Homo-oligomer: A and B are copies of this chain.
Amino acid sequence: MSLFQKHQTALTKAIVALQNRQFYCHHPEHHNAYPKEKAKEGYEAFEGKLNKPFEELLQTGGTEWIGNEESPFWQKSLGITYPQTSIEVLIDNAQTAFKSWRKVSIEERAGILMESIDHISQRYFEIAYSTQHTAGQSFGMSFQASGPHATDRAVEAIAMAYQELTRFPRQTEWVKPIGRTTVSLQKSFLPIPKGIGLAIGCSTFPVWNSVSGIYANLMAGNVAILKPHPTGILPIAIYIAELQKVLQENDFSPNTVQLAVDSPSNLITKELAEHPAVKLIDFTGSSEFGNYIESLQSQGKEVFTEKAGVNSVIIDSAPNLRQVMRNLAFSLSLYSGQMCTAPQNIFIPETGVKEGEELIPYERVVDLLQNEVAAHVLNPRMKVTLGTIQNPMTLQRARMAKNLGGKVVLRPPKVKYEQFPEARIQSPTIIEVNADQISVFEKELFGPIILVIKTKNTQESIDLAQSLASKQGAISCAAYTTDKNIAAQITEAMNAAFTPVSLNLTGFIFVNQAAAFSDFHVSGGNPAGNASFADPNFVNRRFVWIGNRVME
């Protein structure tokens, strides 16, 4: 049985889910299930990697061993090193691998990539601890985001690519009537890969944000180079190693996908991105660097970006405001606002918010919010959702939030993790500003900084949220209203700014979450990014349809 046959049923299920935008997960046994013994094994595997060279990679041509990762939970170095490979060697390796990978059939590519997911899934716990101690996410989030949720995005990319790559007949006879006779041509339609794809990783989601691009590239017949953030290498290095092993086991070059590590003192991203042989770039990170990456389009490169955005919450009315605030408190606390989907600006009308038939005054709405956020982060069972602060500069910014020019509504409650006394941790600050203080809330304040914006009315809330999304970008928008017309108005306004709306979420569904196979992640239509996981463009832009004609 070929690898394609082995995984065909799963692939078909994924395609059906994707097409119908239904719930689907590739490893249902891993969602919400953490068997203790597996966790222990995974931790030991992670621990065993500390202070050693990472020797699992099969790629060739590495020279020195370098590494600079440190755990935000321990605030000390992990001491892991990776093979440094020169740009010349990386490109050479990739070009050689491309010569054979481009000829591999779509079915065989799909089989190998699906197989790699199975291998990776055996190491979810190890990957989770690796993510925790690089990105600084809580263990639970690390497990989900770098484990099943990431591989679901990978399978989504495989499924979307498979669908598109097999969309037209490989061979067909074209018959044209000319007068009383006909002429015919044999035509073949081939999706031709573009070449080397570079994925540029980010520090906060070293796996989740990179796998879609890597798997989409490999499916399309391109070869992949992953340039991780120097502070977030280990979890994605395990993915790359497993991919390389499956490639090698099946007689393909492990250099089909390579890890390109660099160090903060000697970054290679620009040089790699500008290399003429690099034809595709997937990027997650700052708007400044993302705009530079987008400028490379004029050199004929296909570019897929996720940059910064400013996400809004519009509160108009609700049947139960405490449930609203409890849901928002979770979203606002999760990974201390370091998710690209995390809400930042909460628009509340000064005229108050209707709760059922009762009008709750503005001040009480704000008080309810700060209360629920404080309660969440002080709850011993819930505080772990904060994780840590990945970057010391984010901590710095969060600590200065009180000087932003607004009124401090919630000072960050003191939180400690018993298990990690050294953790770099900061709970959220809530600042209240007026609607005219646009300079305060118009930019992304990455990290645990929440702004309450006092507006004249919901109309002003909508106008501000829409204008911010159009100008600064946005990835998510949460809205609460019991009025169907206002709901339609919010949806229309935010959608026109290419921002999806999550309406009236309470309970255990949060605006930050984006479900593979169903939710598009980043729309690609506003300044928060030019690409979407995984709409048809996400895969179609990675290859070119060529139709050949033969007269026989």
Contact = CB atoms under 8 A, between A and B. Distances in A.
A498 B192 contact: yes
Interface string A504-523: 11111100000100111001
B536 A495 contact: no
Interface in A144-192: 164, 167-169, 172, 174-179, 183, 185, 187, 189-190, 192
Contact of A548 (B179, B295, B495, B508): B495
Contact of A546 (B175, B300, B498, B507): B498
Contacts of A547: 21, 500, 518-520
Given A20-B172, A294-B298, A498-B546, 9 more contacts: A21-B169, A164-B536, A501-B549, A502-B550, A503-B548, A503-B549, A505-B551, A532-B545, A537-B540
A138 B169 CA distance: 35
Among A23, A185, A501, A548, max chain B CB count under 10 A is at: A548
B546 A192 contact: no
30 contacts: A19-B167, A20-B168, A20-B172, A21-B174, A21-B189, A21-B547, A22-B172, A23-B174, A102-B496, A164-B536, A176-B515, A183-B509, A294-B297, A297-B298, A487-B550, A499-B546, A500-B546, A500-B548, A501-B548, A501-B549, A502-B550, A503-B549, A504-B551, A506-B551, A519-B547, A520-B545, A525-B546, A532-B544, A537-B537, A537-B541
A194 interface: yes
**What 9 pairs between A and B have smallest CB-CB spacing?**
A525-B544, A503-B550, A297-B297, A295-B298, A502-B549, A23-B176, A501-B548, A504-B551, A535-B545
Query: In the complex this chain forms, how many copies of it are found?
Result: 2
Contact of A549 (B496, B500, B532, B537): B500
Nearest to A490: B548
Interface string A289-301: 0010011011010
A74 to B, nearest CB: 32
A487 to B, nearest CB: 8
Nearest to A194: B525
B192 A525 contact: yes
B507 A183 contact: yes
Contacts of A192: 495-496, 498, 523, 525
A285 interface: no
A527 interface: yes
Contacts of A523: 192, 544-546
B183 A502 contact: no
Contacts of A265: none
Interface of A: 19-23, 32, 102, 164, 167-169, 172, 174-179, 183, 185, 187, 189-190, 192, 194, 291, 294-295, 297-298, 300, 487, 491, 495-496, 498-509, 515, 518-520, 523-525, 527, 530, 532, 535-537, 540-541, 544-552
Contacts of A168: 19-21
Nearest to A99: B496
Contacts of A551: 503-507, 509
Nearest to A28: B177
Given A21-B172, A21-B189, A298-B298, A183 B495 contact: no
A239 B545 CA distance: 29
Nearest to A501: B548
A175 to B, nearest CB: 6
A21 B546 CA distance: 12
A515 B184 CA distance: 12
Contacts of A22: 172, 174-175
Contacts of A503: 548-551
Contacts of A178: 32, 508
A487 B186 CA distance: 14
Contacts of A518: 174, 187, 547
Given A174-B22, A174-B518, A498-B192, A527 B300 contact: yes
Contacts of A520: 545-547
A175 B23 contact: yes
Nearest to A279: B525
Contacts of A504: 550-552
